[in-house]
Amino acid sequence: MLRRLSQRDRFELLIANFEPLIRSAFMAAITDIKSNVQMRRIVERLEKSDISGAMEALHIDLAVFRPLDKAIADTFEGGGIAALSGLPKFRDPDGNVLVIRFDVRHIGAERWLSGQSAGLIPSVADDMRNAVRNALIAGIEAGNNPKTTALDVVGRINRATGRREGGILGLTEAQSQYVRNARLELLSGDPASLQNYLTRARRDKRFDRTVLKAIQTGEKLPADTIVRMLARYEDSLLRQRGDTIARTETLSALNAANHEAFRQGLESTGYTEQDVTRVWKTASDERVRHDHRLMGGVEVQGLNTPFTLPDGSQMMYPGDTSLGASAGQVIRCRCTQFIRLNFLKNID
């Protein structure tokens, strides 16, 4: 006998369907930027210490993230449709079944989509620009060859695939600093610094034996080996960035859609927002952050009543930032909310 799927099971299926789409859209945007960099122009500008000109030649603009914007919108719409499909049938006073469909053009839905786009896309682009600008400045200040500095940013072309690999394009400012630190460790030849490199979780461990040999012999690592090691490290960090964006935005869109779907459903029935009870649900494992573990099972009455977290921040649902919740309460969150409707209200 087939087991009936729980709400968490259905939610996990939605995540499995939509998270890869958001991840792919982000990675495609980075590939687009790397494929269209004006390398000669970048090098020319760097030779003149013209950081602004070099940045312009990278074309990191908002339009390139349009596929990411669309993937999030599709996730939001899919989540809303799924939420309404899971509700029991509502009937009017004459006993006719009410037809309720999720309207992505509803003012509430459009408000969320507009706000999400206005917040996420510029933030991703700005963080990327800051990381690139700092890397270019650091390259110039260190007296590095302009072409080398440019390649460290945009990545080097793999002759087998014809695509650029490595480079800090797409990384956050913090991740870009990780790369700079790793480069200094590998170039230093210092055993303690090389040993510290071996503690980096996102490194390519296939090079560990090479690093250990350098520590034992005291010989410096070959320059081309360092380039390959850093490229693999950068690619790993980029995948991590894509995973973080995909997980965070998928959960945020699905939770927001679930909330909006109930709002639209209530508008079509005789129920009100006060007929709703909402429950914070965690993923129930050791990875749940402390504040959210404490929120597990917490109930609030009404669709418009926010949850109050232990640190005092408020959220309408897990992943919500509209009330000022910090990124630390949102990034890679896997919580959801369970919404109960008082179906007995209209029974005489």
Residue 141 tokens, joined: 């200040």
Rounded Cα distance between 140 and 147, Å, is 11
d(CA 341, CA 153): 53
CB 30 within 8 A of CB 238: yes
Q: pTM to 2 decimals?
A: 0.92
| Rounded Cα–Cα distance for residues 170 and 265 (Å) | 40
- pLDDT for 2: 53
Sequential pLDDT tens for the chain (348 residues): 456 777 788 899 999 999 999 999 999 999 999 999 999 999 999 999 999 999 999 999 999 999 999 999 999 999 999 998 887 777 766 777 888 899 999 999 999 999 999 999 999 999 999 999 999 999 999 999 999 999 999 999 998 888 899 999 999 999 999 999 999 999 999 999 999 999 999 999 999 999 999 999 999 999 999 999 999 999 999 999 999 999 999 999 999 999 999 999 888 887 889 999 999 999 888 999 999 999 999 999 999 999 999 999 999 999 999 999 999 999 999 999 998 887 655 544
CB neighbourhood size of 336 (10 A)? 24
- Which one-letter DSSP state was computed for residue 239? H
Give the Cα separation of 71 and 105 in Å (integer). Answer: 16
